[in-house]
């Protein structure tokens, strides 16, 4: 046992593969970097890091157990998150449709987003409503801390640091990949609209998955 962590290597492998699974966090960071560049991509990533940290603290504080023991509260969180993710998906679909219909959308579409949308704040909300993260911290994260260990806060800190390290590396890869994709799609309006449509559909899918999630 390592600092109260019952099986650290199982956790490391599990956290690594869970971070790599596509989710609304990573898709939003990728889309932001593609549309607005590296700096705004990292602002979105910062929102993800803060949101995941909040979820970790809540899990360590026992909120995960509260959600497990209070189905009504879990359902409120679940359906609110599902509705928000679906709303983001519909917004993306609407933007893609407008881009497809307007011949000048390639130049005009990104401009409103630069002033109207704060990527850090939006990524933070997405992170807090992320079905993958919610289920991970409720069902997986807390299982690796020995309740008899004298300093469980240290155990959770180590587990959280491992998860955030994987997240930083993965999101950095997506940010620079997103800027490369932007250069490829900038002059291809219909291809860009098609990609946005796909991302919007995925967000709706994430919302549907969260709406049907169970604690098991």
Where exactly are the structural domains of the chain?
8-211
- Going by the DSSP 8-state scheme, the letter that residue 186 receives in this structure is T
pLDDT in tens, 90-116: 766 776 666 666 654 444 344 334 445
Contact between residue 206 and residue 200 where contact means Cβ atoms under 8 Å apart = no
Alpha-carbon torsion (122, 125, 127, 131), positive or negative: negative
CA distances from 89 to 92, 94, 113 (A): 5, 9, 15
38-89: per-residue pLDDT in tens? 899 999 999 999 998 988 888 777 766 666 666 776 677 667 767 766 776 7
**Whole-number Å distance between alpha carbons of 39 and 115:** 15
pLDDT at residue 166 in the model: 93
In this prediction, residue 24 has a pLDDT band, given cuts at 50, 70 and 90, of confident
Report the pLDDT value the prediction gives residue 172, as an integer from 0 to 100.
94
Q: Are 84 and 129 in contact (CB under 8 A)?
A: yes
Of the candidates 70, 96, 111, the residue with the CA atom closest to the CA atom of residue 195 = 96
Flag whether the pTM goes above 0.95. Answer: no
């Amino acid at each position: 046992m390592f600092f109260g962590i019952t099986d650290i290597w199982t956790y490391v492998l599990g956290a690594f593969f869970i971070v790599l699974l596509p989710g609304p966090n990573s898709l939003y960071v990728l889309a932001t970097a593609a549309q607005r560049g590296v700096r705004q991509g990292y602002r979105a990533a910062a929102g993800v890091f803060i949101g995941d940290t909040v979820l970790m603290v809540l899990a360590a504080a026992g909120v995960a157990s509260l959600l497990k023991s209070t189905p009504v509260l879990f359902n409120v969180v679940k359906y609110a998150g599902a509705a928000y993710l679906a709303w983001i998906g519909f917004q993306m679909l609407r933007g893609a449709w407008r881009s497809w219909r307007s011949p000048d959308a390639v130049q005009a579409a990104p401009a409103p987003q630069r002033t109207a949308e704060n990527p850090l704040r939006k990524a933070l909300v997405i992170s807090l409503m992320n079905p993958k993260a919610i289920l991970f911290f409720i069902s997986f994260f807390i299982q690796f801390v020995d309740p008899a260990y004298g300093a469980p806060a240290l155990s959770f800190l180590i587990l959280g640091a491992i998860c955030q390290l994987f997240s930083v590396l993965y999101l950095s890869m997506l940010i620079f990949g997103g800027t490369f994709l932007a250069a490829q799609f900038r002059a291809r309006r219909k291809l860009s609209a098609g990609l946005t449509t796909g991302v919007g559909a995925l967000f709706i899918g994430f919302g549907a998955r969260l709406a049907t999630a169970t604690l098991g």
